[in-house]
Amino acid sequence: EVVLTQSPATLSLSPGERATLSCRASQSVYNYLAWYQQKPGQAPRLLIYDVSERATGIPARFGGSGSGTDFTLTISSLQPEDFAVYYCHQRSRWPLTFGGGTKVEIK
Amino acid sequence: QVQLVESGGGVVQPGGSLRFSCAASGFTFSNFGMHWVRQAPGKGLEWVAFLRNDGTSDYYADSVKGRFTISRDISKNTLYLQMDSLTVEDTAVYYCAKDGPNYGPGPYYFDYWGQGVLVTVSS
């Protein structure tokens, strides 16, 4: 199975700062990678798919990059509503897998 | 707009069974694959099962293979998850999720999610 390793586990930042989240795959997932945001008590929400495509209604401050095994989610300027847990996910091979998550918390 | 509403969660004893459903609306149900994804308390996300848009193929995580069955009723726009031989490790919030945003057999990603239903396996 493809193991997705996210780092850091926790990111402490202030509103307005830039957030950079990493997701590394144990083997190439090509460009079949997505990012989700989850707030406490809520279902996850699709942010980015196919590495860099923003899902419907997602603000431009969210951006994705990478290829093969190394991927990055960037939030250019953190807004108060962006403090949450972020998961990466791959669909290149069965079983579909998620990373362990990165919590972005207010510093 | 797309809506996914799960129902049927609850408490069940180890070794027991449970079936819950996900009512879909706001899109052509028969055109898209559907998933179940779960999240144990305080833990991360785990994909559980996928049913292709044409209903001919299903896929499962190794942890549930042979015990869980995903199915659908097109006439009711409803997705189901039948869970048998439950263990305490199956305790989680279960989400149904629509496959997308691409159109086709999938799997793609999880572009819409239900609110989740809690299943607690405990004696």
Q: What is the pLDDT of residue A100?
A: 97
Instruction: State how far the Cα of B110 lies from the Cα of B96, in Å rounded to an integer.
Output: 9
Local structure of A100: helix, strand or coil? coil
Give me the residue from B61, B101, B112 closest to A49, CB to CB: B101
CB A73 within 8 A of CB A64: yes
CB A66 within 8 A of CB A50: no
Q: In chain A, pLDDT over 70 holds for what percent of residues? A: 100
For residue B18, which of B9, B30, B5 has the smallest C-alpha distance? B9
Q: What is the mean pLDDT of chain A?
A: 97
Give the HSE-up count for residue A82: Cα atoms under 13 Å, Cβ half-sphere. Answer: 26
Close Cβ partners of A89 (under 8 Å, ≥ 6 residues apart): A4, A33, A34, A35, A36, A96, A97, A98, A99, B45, B47, B109, B110
Task: Please write the tens of the pLDDT for every residue from B52-93.
Answer: 998 899 999 999 999 999 999 999 999 999 999 999 999 999
Mean pLDDT of A35-49: 97
Q: What is the pLDDT of residue A31?
A: 94
Give me the residue from A43, A91, A99 closest to B95, CB to CB: A43
Decide: residue A63, CB within 10 A, 0-12 exposed, 13-18 middle, 19+ buried: middle
**What band does A102 get if pLDDT is binned at 50, 70 and 90?**
very high
Query: For A68, left (φ over 0), alpha (ψ -120 to 50), or beta?
Result: left
Task: Please write the tens of the pLDDT for every residue from A3-26.
Answer: 999 999 999 999 999 999 999 999
Tokens for B71? Answer: 């199915």
Q: How many CB atoms lie within 10 A of CB A70?
A: 11
Give the β-pairing of B78-83 and B92-100: unpaired
Distance from CA of A53 to the nearest CA of B (A): 11
Give me the residue from B44, B61, B112 closest to A95, CB to CB: B61
Distance from CA of B75 to the nearest CA of A (A): 26
Q: Looking at the complex, does the CB of residue A101 fall below 8 Å from at least one CB of chain B?
A: yes
